[in-house]
Amino acid sequence: MLVVKKFGGTSVANKERIYNVCRRCAESYKNGDDVVVVLSAMGKLTDELIAKAKDINPNPSKREMDMLLTTGEQTSVALACMAFEALGIPAISLNAFQVAMHTTSAYSNARLKRIDTERIMHELDQRKIVVVTGFQGVNKYGDYTTLGRGGSDTTAVALAAALKADACEIYTDVDGVYTADPRIVKKARKMKEITYDEMLDLATLGAGVLHNRSVELAKKYGVALVVRSSLTNEEGTVVKEDVKVERMLVSGVAADKNCAKISVVGLSDKPGTAFRLFDALSQANINVDMILQSVSHDNTQDIAFTVVGDYADDAIKVIEDNKTRLKYEKVELEKGVAKVSVVGAGMMSNPGVAAKVFECMYNSNINIKMISTSEIRVTVLIDDKEVEKAMNAAHDIFGLED
């Protein structure tokens, strides 16, 4: 069996943890598996490198930043191979040039285009564990690039796809994907299986276990992902296309507290009004999430939408800067709001889920400010003080604890 195993920065933060990672991989190797390990930079090393750079130049070019940051994973893979050697396991480290990992040109936020497999396959054939730098690639100019947030997950999934691996195991500090965040919902239960689409919705909505780019990639290439703990031997959660267990109506509940609601009141009710508003925001690189457009009255309408909390003030500024062009009466900002989402592939064939969500919010006396739905998701915007109550209520009403 060929397995790609990915470990994040906390899993290789010090000597003991590096040995822990290597011992786990050695077990699999001794069972006869071909093992490819993908590592991130150690603990806080990336942050330290960024601080070093900013001290030299507050606005370094992204190219040189990538040149600097890629030393982080290279340090991890070299040290891990030294630990493998000490354990008597043949291992070899490879960076993005050595593999080679071809990406698009964009420094700091590149996308993987193609991975050469010759070198890795050659080393696996020598019965070596191959330890590969996550997060980094090489672009058409022959320069280092990095893959942005969650980049090492993406490296692991892409490698698994290129090598036609039998499994891609993502080791984290949690032991799988839960029906809800166990810190908020006490009865939350670890799922054995979940579909790519459900995982994508949970990832986007703040479950935080896997970055959505890696899930998208896994879906595209049909890579079976396993999310499991780097500390325990528990089985973890499998993310794949078809889930064999009897389809639950709802598989999980997620929350995202980093939200703000913006209402633009008294916009003229003419064609192009919404376009001009959201175009101005997109020009400023502000992503808009839920959108609510009111029925018009007196030739005016109101438009409300949510943005990531950090961008709320920027969004307000953009709207106010465009006041003469947009023509509106006033703009209102509401912070302290949160999205709670119910996700489940089973709801595609069952239209009652949304109603049930509203019912349980009503029963819990929670005011719903906005609603948005997709084929496999129902999201409500509520006061962030009510997130815990709302999540537990939804978890209960859909019987997720069983």
Q: Which is nearer to a second copy, 135 or 196 (CB)?
A: 135
Q: Give the start-end residues of each E strand in 183-299.
A: 193-195, 225-229, 237-240, 252-268, 288-293
Nearest approach, Cβ of residue 19 and a second copy (Å): 8
Nearer residue to a second copy within complex by CB, 147 or 200: 147
Rounded Cα distance, 377 and 247, in Å: 15
Residues that bind a second copy (CB under 8 A): 15, 18, 49, 52-53, 55-57, 59-61, 63-65, 67-68, 70-71, 74-75, 77-79, 81-83, 85-86, 92-93, 95, 97-98, 119, 142-143
Cα distances (Å, whole numbers) of residue 227 to 25, 124, 130: 15, 24, 20
**Which amino acid is it at 39?**
L
C-beta closer to a second copy: residue 52 or 186: 52
Q: 105 vs 374, which CB is nearer to a second copy?
A: 105
Cβ neighbors of 10 (< 8 A, separation 6 or more) are: 17, 43, 173
Question: Could you tell me the two tokens for 336?
Answer: 């302290």
How wide is the angle at C-alpha 310 spanned by C-alphas 342 and 219, nearest 5°? 45
Q: Which is nearer to a second copy, 4 or 18 (CB)?
A: 18
> Phi and psi of 309, rounded to 5°?
-50, -40
Least spacing, CB of residue 159 vs a second copy, in Å: 18
Closer CB to a second copy, residue 125 or residue 402?
125
Residues with Cβ within 8 Å of 233's Cβ and at least 6 positions away in sequence, in order, are none
- CB 285, min distance to a second copy, A: 23
Specify whether the CB–CB gap between 58 and 95 falls below 8 A.
no
Question: Least distance in Å: CB of 156 to a second copy?
Answer: 20
State in angstroms the smallest separation of the CB of 2 from a second copy: 22
Largest pairwise CA distance in the chain: 79
Instruction: Decide whether 75 or 117 has the Cβ nearer to a second copy.
Output: 75
Residue 169 bridge partners (DSSP): 5, 226
Question: Nearest approach, Cβ of 138 to a second copy (angstroms)?
Answer: 8
Rounded to a whole number of angstroms, the minimum distance from the CB of residue 274 to a second copy is 41
